Structure 1
């Protein structure tokens, strides 16, 4: 359904231009957790990955079908500040059901209590454990796909870059849903979507700047590709990639720019812009047309990754 005048007016009113997430993030974090709290009749498996001086909680969601299932290693959104493993519980349950894959959700450390590079290092640590000890799930490495939305997609891209640079493992595929890939979301941004969609569509450019201010340790992080993947000097040797962007999202253009950068480096990339979609649409119930369209692309991509030989046949 297209965004009509009444809906535009409502979205503008809900975009909260005067709220400063740097002051209110504890409240928003609590609200998101309450909204996504697990239902009582569903019991996923909770696990921890030991890393350094702390444990990283991991929650595994199994699909409803019997048998062996490939893995989606999921990094949640929330601007590196407000999301968590509980607030994404419903999203992950739906993901497991709609893709017929096991979803491994990572509860990485949040800013500002733990600033960059805590989040990507946590995500890398979980990925490293799964890829280097395939007996954990009885999977082959090529049966594991990285996936994330927004800040989580940023982290998925960062983990893939880290994996290439460190040489310990390399994911075969990744799915980036409206990823944050750049560091500048002010009026100086080179991406038109920051200005076109940065005020009246729930996620504002002002809020993105505030999230990043809470997340970064210092201005030098803006040049670090693990913070802003578009800052990378080398985009080669990256996983086969699916990128989904939203039409009315300030992050739209930078996500697509990242896809183009990967393409120029010879990486197989598929990109789709979901029409009439806002940032965050992936967390909506599956009945929404935008969510259905997204899962259509995701399942087709996963099938192609799982059966690469089919792509060579006429």
Structure 2
């Protein structure tokens, strides 16, 4: 990447935040921005909830303008397990519903630091179980086409939910779409095994220091972070996972760990496709509909939903890593 392009991209970098002190302000700001930048039309959705122990987890169900597929996309939002909610992700979920023609169910899981690991994961897991085993409770007709979807920390949660469903012997989703997910615990440039942490960990949309802040709030115990449910790449058994589409961003510090997770899934015998969006920054799923990274990602997602771009072999030994021009 030439210096001029790097400088231009730097203009779009988020200012350095002290997430540990300012997370409440970030939450309010995200909701404000979502209200200002949402779709021109009012998205069609309805609110429901899943009972999880002593509390209820809100779920917002979005209807596409034109329903073209039977799949229900069960979406876990990003935000480092600390920020983001169904309000701030309403524009992104409305876009997802319209561009895929699918119903999208967005989960408002509990956030750290008020509710550290495993609270948010348990919420996502319980909602997934509810939809897979009793979809009518959420007004969904058929569980056979439920697809787990998540971006960033939400991609981490989707991967962890898939692991839990298999480990606990419950009905599993047939497919999952992981968008630039967190899969590893170490984002220190001095010790990380991934080059993207060193190449893209400063000056862009997400920084190494911010990821560290998020981990400090979500999983304060350093040893806990190495658990497969916090760092899925640490799992010793990745067999029996859903057919997976994993989309990464070229200029994202999480790029290499996400692609390594795709490779590990394939080596464990799962069907996987990994697609890298060239020139994209972390978090592009919330960009306006006309943006190139967003449009490219949805072309790949729609092809995956139509089963046109997934290796159909049972062995799953092939990983299709594309670097888009």
TM-score clears 0.5? yes
Deviations 1:97-151 (A, max 9, x none): 0000000000000000000001110000100100011334454433110001000
Aligned partner of 1:110 in structure 2 is 111
| 215-224 vs 156-165, greater mean Cα deviation | 215-224
Match of 1:303 among 292, 300, 306: 306
SS of the equivalent of 2:238 reads coil
Separation in structure 2 between the aligned mates of residue 246 and residue 79 of structure 1, nearest angstrom: 17
Deviation, structure 1 residue 80: 0.5
Match of 2:297 among 294, 304, 312: 294
Deviation, structure 1 residue 231: 1.1
Q: Whose RCO is larger (CA < 8 A, sep 6+)?
A: 1
Aligned partner of 1:47 in structure 2 is 48
Aligned partner of 2:194 in structure 1 is 191
- Partners of 2:271 and 2:311 within 8 A in 1: no
Deviation, structure 1 residue 307: 11
Aligned partner of 2:24 in structure 1 is 26
Separation in structure 1 between the aligned mates of residue 131 and residue 24 of structure 2, nearest angstrom: 31
Deviations 1:261-298 (A, max 9, x none): 00000100001110000001111011011111100000
Aligned residue pair count = 308
Separation in structure 2 between the aligned mates of residue 304 and residue 91 of structure 1, nearest angstrom: 23
Within 5 A, what are the aligned runs for 1:157-306?
A: 157-187=159-189, 188-304=191-307
- Partners of 2:67 and 2:103 within 8 A in 1: no
Within 5 A, what are the aligned runs for 1:37-116?
A: 37=35, 41-65=42-66, 69-116=70-117
- Unmatched segments (≥5 aa) in structure 2: 315-325
SS of the equivalent of 1:55 reads strand
Separation in structure 1 between the aligned mates of residue 278 and residue 303 of structure 2, nearest angstrom: 18
- Unmatched segments (≥5 aa) in structure 1: none
Separation in structure 2 between the aligned mates of residue 94 and residue 113 of structure 1, nearest angstrom: 30
- Partners of 2:249 and 2:282 within 8 A in 1: yes
Deviations 1:46-76 (A, max 9, x none): 0111111111000000111258732000000
- Partners of 1:17 and 1:199 within 8 A in 2: no
Separation in structure 2 between the aligned mates of residue 67 and residue 12 of structure 1, nearest angstrom: 38
Separation in structure 1 between the aligned mates of residue 15 and residue 202 of structure 2, nearest angstrom: 8
Q: Are the structure 2 counterparts of residues 307 and 297 from structure 1 closer, same or farther at C-alpha, using a change threshold of 3 Å?
A: closer
- Partners of 1:12 and 1:199 within 8 A in 2: no
Matched, 1:124 2:130: no
RMSD, aligned α-carbons: 2.3
More helix by share: 1
SS of the equivalent of 2:307 reads helix
- Partners of 2:68 and 2:102 within 8 A in 1: no
- Partners of 1:143 and 1:306 within 8 A in 2: no
